[in-house]
Structure 1
Amino acid sequence: YVDLVKKHGLEISQPGVDPNSPFTWQMTRKRHDSEVHKSTKEKPGC
């Protein structure tokens, strides 16, 4: 995790959480198509 933070020059980050959990924001869910993601779209009103 620390290596990825340094590699991508992230100033703030958090490890991804279980993508199947209903108790997390889309932006914090782990994605398998990339090492990191910096933006996401939430449902309207969230």
Structure 2
Amino acid sequence: MHFGGREMFLVALINYACVMLHLEYLLRTSWQILLVLIVVIFA
């Protein structure tokens, strides 16, 4: 199966978008976990 330049670019773009979404999700959840830890420690 031979990919053209446009297909390769599209695949790379989709992979990049998936990674960015995953990173954003991880950062958001880790931020919430940190917030909970701070509340638990100082409460």
Identify the TM-score tier after normalising by the shorter chain: under 0.3
Q: Which has the higher contact order (CA 8 A, sep 6+)?
A: 1
Provide the TM-score with structure 1 as the length reference: 0.19
**Highest CA radius of gyration, 1 or 2?**
2
More helix by share: 2
